[in-house]
Amino acid sequence: MTALTPLPGVDTLVEAALRRVGAVTSDGADDLVARARRWGPDLDAGIRAVFEPPRADALVARLAEIAVSGWLDRPQALRDRDRDRLLTPDWFQGPDTLGYVAYADRFGGTLDGVSTHIDYLRELGTTYLHLMPLLAPRDGANDGGYAVADYRAVRRDLGTMADLESLATALHAAGIALTIDLVLNHVAREHPWAEAARRGEQHYRDYFHVFPDRTVPGEFERTLPEVFPDFAPGNFTWDDDVAGWVWTTFNDYQWDLNWSNPDVVCEFADITLFLANRGVDCLRLDAIAFLWKRLGTDSQNQPEVHGLTRALRAVARIAAPSLVFKAEAIVGPAQVVHYLGVGDYAGHVSDLAYHNSLMVQIWSALATRDVRLLVRALEKFPPKPTTTAWATYLRCHDDIGWAIDDTDAWQVGWNGPAHRAFLSEWYAGRAPGSFARGAEFQVNEATGDSRMSGSAASLVGIEQALEAGDAALLARAVARLHCAYAMVYGFGGIPLLYMGDELALLNDTGYLDEPAHADDNRWMHRPRMPWDVAAMRHDSDTLECRVFAMVRHLGDVRRSLPSLHAAVESVTVETSNPAVLAVVRRHAAGDLVQVYNVSEDWQRCDVGVLGSLRDRELVEHLVGDVPRIEDWQLVLAPYAAVWLAAR
Ligand code: GLC
């Protein structure tokens, strides 16, 4: 009888791999092994949640090897950064963390061009820059760069990998962390893996989901939603070269990867470390909800997704611990918290996740002048792990999908589908009294659903006011923008300022003249940075100056308030006035109470919202004036946004 030998731990595997290459006594090797001891169990747990032995054992061993080779390639400056970040693990949670999101080409022309605008970013207090897809995409239509043909090369017109490294170094020197996209659900049809599959190589055909006929796709389609019903209906595309139906959730040229293939897992572990070693601090895990497919479901948010993330993150923690993950999971509240981790996964998956619900609810509240649905939606969020943070935002490069839960709507006395239809009407500027100038995106004839494109300024009414040449209307629209961004900056987590919002840039219809963009109106809110307009931020009396100063001020105030650290939650407080939102952040350094009036009328709410601050001498941080209190009520100006604390 042979006794079962226990499987070696990841630290043992790492040490053995170091020994094989003669690096076990090299500088930092001890720390690497220590980290493998610390995060090895995560790697193991993640993989074993998805794969059975002996495949799981082999995969863990391969990932340990990848971690070692990734670490061996890691430049010393980044190893130093790892050490510093390990000493400050909450580096992305503090109130000083401010995000900015831009397309490299539209912001700076090239990667080198971006570095010439670092001062502009610093002016806004930026400490975190997300540059939109910049890895080499396919030629022609490429979904804004989300159809990657080479993860190890930069888009030709933007520069080279060496330029990306120089930019990262320059950003780091300015105190700015760099985020880029890691598209892991799909590759371009022109990616070498897909090309090899198309040449008939079985090894690579297994990287994808390919079906000989419609039988299986037909079964899946029964429960799959459509992401682009308008220009890419269905989830499968016939491909002559592979003589089969290929899974394509998004566009027909974006081939979904088969993550149940361990080779795919290893490829991405390797790519993750490759990008980390170029100086990238955060990977935005694009469309991560779609990674795992399961018959009879919508094939989103499957538990395996979290096992895979846990394992990938563990590889990164071992080899490049200053790297963090941001989940792009645009899913409901009950699902999204799983990306930050629930139960045994808490704090072991992504470090950041987009707060899509907050974004949608801010727009809903501004249209209805009613915060009850927002409050209802936020109340449903379980607390997130204290080591993680939300990425909060008002606008991004995508459309706004009206992610409003029918039950929530019903509980505040509304009808879900009717409310979503109203929001589309309102923001498309068709509803009577609308202040918005947006455009519908992906109208789904079958379900009646539609989403919304448009820049923040155009959606909050600045475009309408400028058209009307009405100064009072303009002041009101700017106040509306301030109110919305104050919620984004005040929620806790990383506020993401979307390029152009700081200058109130309007919709850009130029995309209609570009054949690769014309059918996708999301390009109306992806403008090129007009640097001549940006220069006006210093001319007092201009709209640009007003809005820029306003956004900058939000950042300055935020930075000064320890209670905005992401470790604590924002909790809504009953205001007994549907037009008024109150949020409390309870923090050891002192509580912060935020009150927002989402309407153009004066409003009042009970002083009870002040909670623990009630009998204290108050200070207001955003505007400097504590609202008047009359008859036990706070009196709030139109679109007031106030952040109150004890003096
Ligand atoms: C993400 C991106 C979106 C893209 C999709 C497919 O949702 O934000 O722009 O179309 O992924 O990659």
What is the reported pLDDT for 608? 96
Closest atom of ligand 1 relative to the 398 alpha carbon = 9
Q: Name the closest-CA residue to atom 3, ligand 1.
A: 398
The contacts of residue 577 (CB under 8 Å, 6+ apart) are: 603, 604, 605
Average pLDDT (610-626) is: 94
Residue 3, pLDDT score: 59
- Which of 185, 230, 250 for a ligand 1 pocket mutation test, highest count of atoms within 8 Å of Cβ? 250
Distance CA 593, CA 561 (A): 12
Q: Which atom of ligand 1 is nearest to the CA of 250?
A: 6
The count of residues in the chain is: 647
Centre of ligand 1 to C-alpha 34, Å, is 37
Q: What band does 4 get if pLDDT is binned at 50, 70 and 90?
A: low
Residues above pLDDT 90, as percent of the chain: 95
User: What's the order of all strands across the beta sheet hosting 570-573?
Assistant: 570-573, 580-585, 592-597, 641-646, 618-620
Assigned token pair, 24: 């076990």
Spell 200-239 as b/e; 16+ CB within 10 A means b: eeeebbbbbbbbeeeeebeebeeebebbbbbebeebbbeb
Cα distance between residue 500 and residue 489, in whole Å: 16
Token duo for residue 83: 């050490």
d(CA 184, CA 129): 20
Q: Would the pTM of this model clear 0.85, i.e. be above it?
A: yes
Residue with the nearest Cα to atom 11 of ligand 1?
287
CA 259 to centroid of ligand 1, rounded, Å: 18
Distance from residue 287's CA to the centre of ligand 1 (Å): 6
- 279-312 tens-digit pLDDT: 999 999 999 999 999 999 999 999 999 999 999 9
How many A from CA of 289 to the centre of ligand 1? 11
Nearest alpha-carbon partner for 106 in 434, 517, 442: 517
Share of the chain above pLDDT 70, in %: 99
CA distances from 514 to 66, 105, 141, 613 (A): 42, 15, 11, 55
Instruction: Please report which confidence band the pLDDT of residue 47 belongs to, taking 50, 70 and 90 as the band edges.
Output: very high
Residues with CB under 6 A from ligand 1: 143-144, 146, 183, 250, 286-287, 328, 397-398
Catalytic center residues: 286, 328
Per residue in 364-410, pLDDT (tens digit) is 999 999 999 999 999 999 899 999 999 999 999 999 999 999 999 99
pLDDT score recorded for residue 26: 97
Q: 3-state class of 566 per DSSP?
A: coil
* Both tokens assigned to 394: 């008002």
Pocket test for ligand 1, best of 326, 398, 520, 525 (most atoms within 8 A of CB): 398
For the CA atoms of 192, 195, 196, 202, the dihedral, rounded to the nearest 10 degrees, stands at: 120
The pLDDT value given to residue 2: 54
Residues 57, 6 contacting (CB under 8 angstroms): no
Given pLDDT bands bounded at 50, 70 and 90, which one contains residue 446? confident
What's the pLDDT at 445?
A: 83
pLDDT at 609 over 80: yes
Report the chain's mean pLDDT, rounded to a whole number. 97
117 secondary structure, DSSP code:
T
pLDDT digits (tens, 9 = 90+) for 543-564: 999 999 999 999 999 999 999 9
Between CA 425 and CA 430 the distance in angstroms is 5
pLDDT tens-digit profile of 150-181?
Answer: 999 999 999 999 999 999 999 999 999 999 99
What token pair was written down for 359? 């974004």
Domains of the chain listed by start with CATH number: 192-256 (3.90.400.10)
Give the position of tokens 């795919």: 264
Give dist(CA 330, CA 117) in Å, integer.
30
Ligand 1 atom 9: residue of nearest CA: 398
Kindly tell me if the per-residue pLDDT of 449 is higher than 90: no
**From the CA of 167, how far away is ligand 1's center (Å)?**
24
Q: Distance, CA 529 to ligand 1 centroid (Å)?
A: 22
Mutate to test the pocket of ligand 1, among 185, 286, 291, 326 (most ligand atoms within 8 A of CB): 286
Sheet containing strand 629-630, edge to edge, reads 603-606, 633-636, 629-630
Quick one: which atom of ligand 1 is closest to the CA of 522?
Answer: 9
Is the peptide bond between 333 and the residue preceding it cis, with omega within 30 degrees of 0? no
Predicted confidence at residue 95, as pLDDT, reads 98
pLDDT score recorded for residue 618: 96
- pLDDT band for position 333 (cuts 50, 70, 90): confident
Averaged pLDDT for residues 27-50:
98
For residue 283, give both structure tokens.
């990977």
